[in-house]
Amino acid sequence: MNHPLTLAEANAILHAALADARSRNMPPVAVVVLDAAGHPVALQREDGASMLRADIALGKAWAAAGMGAAGSVLHGRAQGNPAFFNALAATGQGKFIPQAGSVPVLRDGIVIGAVGASGGKGEDDEAICAAGAAAAGLATA
């Protein structure tokens, strides 16, 4: 039986991702942790992060949760199949953002949620997401 992402795990992911962002001296970021159904479980936007950061982080996480792949992987796939990824964005009513900066979160090989970040370079956003999941003892894809 697979256990869903807990609030405690989501908060651990979020806090570790923010700590990793500070250790990298990134600009202010927003981090969003979603459950497997794409619902927000934890969200924080650092002081100084622009108003769009939380929405962008949510869209990146939503894409990762829905497709079971990291944002950087989805971005690469979108380059080769733009019509399909445009359809996904439309279907997701604007929540689907296939850009670097998110990872799906797995337990026993099953997607139980995703984490997305926005504020830095895409690769740095994605790295802090992965660091957050690892700190919580969870795998990523």
The 10s digit of each residue's pLDDT in 8-20 is 999 999 999 999 9
Give pLDDT tens digits for 55-96. 999 999 999 999 999 999 999 999 999 999 989 988 888 899
117-122: average pLDDT? 98
Q: Closest Cα partner for 56 from 19, 105, 96?
A: 96
Please tell me the predicted confidence (pLDDT) of residue 38: 96
29-50: average pLDDT? 98
In a domain, 104, yes or no: yes
Please tell me the predicted confidence (pLDDT) of residue 1: 62
Per cent of the chain over pLDDT 70 is 99
Find out whether 58 and 33 touch, Cβ atoms under 8 Å: no
For tokens 């697979």, the residue is 2
In a domain, 138, yes or no: no
Q: Closest Cα partner for 101 from 78, 86, 85, 121?
A: 121
CATH of the domain at 31: 3.30.450.150
**What is the number of other CB atoms lying within 10 angstroms of the CB of residue 137?**
10
Q: Which domain holds residue 127?
A: 7-133
In a domain, 139, yes or no: no
In a domain, 39, yes or no: yes
Please give the structure tokens belonging to residue 7: 């609030």
107-126: average pLDDT? 97
In a domain, 48, yes or no: yes
Please tell me the predicted confidence (pLDDT) of residue 94: 81
Chain-wide mean pLDDT for the chain?
Answer: 96
Please give the structure tokens belonging to residue 139: 């795998």
In a domain, 84, yes or no: yes
Q: Is the pLDDT of residue 2 over 80?
A: no
Enter the pTM of the model.
0.95
100-126: average pLDDT? 98
Domains held by the chain: number:
1
